[in-house]
Homo-oligomer: A and B are copies of this chain.
Amino acid sequence: MFLRKRQSKGADDLTSLCRTLLSHRGDVSGARLATEVVRTWQSLDAAGRESFFDRLATEFTPDATAVAAAVDAYQKHPAPATLMRLQRAVDSPRQELFRRWNIAGGGTAALIELRRRLLQTLKAHPERAGIDTDLIHLFRSWFNRGFLVLQRIDWHTPAVVLERLIEYEAVHQIQGWRDLRRRLDADRRCFAFFHPALPDEPLIFIEAALTTGMSDAVQPLIDPESPVGDPARADTAIFYSITNCQKGLRGVSFGNVLIKQVVEDLGREFPRLRTFATLSPIPGFRAWAEAQNARWTQVDAATATAAVKLELTMLCAQYLMHARRDNEPADSVARFHLANGASLDRLNWMADPSPNGLQRSFGFMANYIYRPEDLEHNHEIFARESRVIASRAIEKLARPAA
């Protein structure tokens, strides 16, 4: 009871600080006030944050009377002037509030953190959706691709950034500094997008291996003991991991731009590269297969017979080519690469024999190919028809047996 009070007091204080920040005093002492706002926000505990989200959802919203009046005026006379009045009236004071938060040192990071926590509560609190709308509107402006900086990550990168890579890497976990170092060696490339206001925080990063031939297994790529190849002789760049770092920036997409730009940059640095491809997980395959037929729950891919292997391969091709959710490919990784204009090229049996890989997809991984000259066309077809563009081999595998 007491705690609850104290916390609602924290949220009260913060709400009141936010009001001041939006007032005349904020015009002059914005930096000082914004710093106080950020600190107070950071000191809230879970109950305090809940309470503050409620305040954000109900206060700092457009003035209902002004909206009603603007709506009336527009209805009577729909015209540029009444439209502008309407736009002004529905413009959320939260946006100006967040813009002023941002003046504080660390303000941008605090807002990303605020949204990260907000997102966790949205299901239970759909009435908070408006806060999210305001935040994502701002983030889309602030994190405009034109403001992002592509940086190569290597062993000359500050430790504070490398540590984040170890922390964030989601696809193939990095097992400490030795593992990381191998991933940054001469035959590897890692690139990240940064925003000038967050110099130590990668927004997204991609890991590539420069190889001869298209990799069909991920273990050799992430093995810290693997021999280091000569990048000048490589003919293929394999993107084996791409990681969005900031949960609070969900919905602000960077991935497609990042891959495209890295393909261009690598092509320039290594003119012998011919193929740019991913080695990607197929996260939804096993769950889908098991839902199709309960017998797959029993299968141990590591000891499967050739017949089972063939059957699973065909099933996997069918999954990627035909399984749909909301009229799009059911597999989230497939959706991402196909929407970028890549094409599905090959399935690789036992490409990821880790427990995680077996659990997700019986160890299968897919190669998606990025052909710079096809990306735009493929993307348009996919955007129009949601059709999966794949190699003949995969199309054939996916065909129902006669």
Find A257's partner among B30, B90, B181 (CB 8 Å cutoff): B30
Find A64's partner among B78, B90, B384 (CB 8 Å cutoff): B78
- Chain B: which residue is nearest A33 at the CB level? B376
- Chain B: which residue is nearest A127 at the CB level? B80
In this assembly, does A160 line the interface, its C-beta being within 8 Å of a C-beta of chain B? yes
- Contacts of A176 on B, CB cut-off 8 Å? 177
- Contacts of A75 on B, CB cut-off 8 Å? 68, 71-72, 75
Which chain A residues (169-198) contact chain B, with CB distance < 8 Å? 176-177, 181, 196-197
- Tell me the complex Cα distance, A83–B86, Å: 11
- Contacts of A222 on B, CB cut-off 8 Å? none
Among A100-108, A280-288, A346-354, the one that faces the other chain is A100-108
Among A114-122, A133-141, A302-310, A323-331, the one that faces the other chain is A133-141
A89-112 CB mask vs B (1 if < 8 Å, else 0) is: 011100000010011100110000
In this assembly, does A336 line the interface, its C-beta being within 8 Å of a C-beta of chain B? no
A151 to chain B: closest CB distance in Å? 13
Report how many residues on chain A are interfacial, defined by Cβ distance under 8 Å. 71
A355-370 CB mask vs B (1 if < 8 Å, else 0) is: 0000000000000000
- Tell me the complex Cα distance, A67–B80, Å: 12
A152 to chain B: closest CB distance in Å? 12
- Contacts of A200 on B, CB cut-off 8 Å? 156
Q: Would A142 and B145 be within 8 Å (CB), given that A80-B127, A157-B158 are in contact? A: no
A298 to chain B: closest CB distance in Å? 42
Among A7-15, A20-28, A46-54, A224-232, the one that faces the other chain is A20-28
In this assembly, does A60 line the interface, its C-beta being within 8 Å of a C-beta of chain B? no
6 other A-B residue contacts (CB within 8 Å) besides A25-B376, A87-B90, A104-B146: A31-B145, A57-B80, A67-B78, A83-B130, A87-B92, A141-B141
A-B contact pairs, 30 of them (CB 8 A): A24-B384, A25-B379, A27-B256, A27-B379, A27-B383, A28-B256, A28-B340, A28-B376, A28-B380, A29-B375, A29-B376, A30-B257, A31-B145, A31-B257, A31-B261, A62-B83, A67-B74, A67-B83, A71-B71, A84-B133, A86-B90, A87-B90, A102-B145, A103-B145, A104-B146, A141-B141, A141-B142, A142-B142, A156-B200, A157-B159
Q: Which residues of A contact B (CB under 8 A)?
A: 24-25, 27-31, 57, 61-62, 64, 67-68, 71-72, 74-75, 78, 80, 83-84, 86-87, 90-92, 99, 102-104, 107-108, 127, 129-130, 133, 138, 140-142, 144-147, 155-160, 162-163, 176-177, 181, 196-197, 200, 256-257, 260-261, 339-341, 375-376, 379-380, 383-384
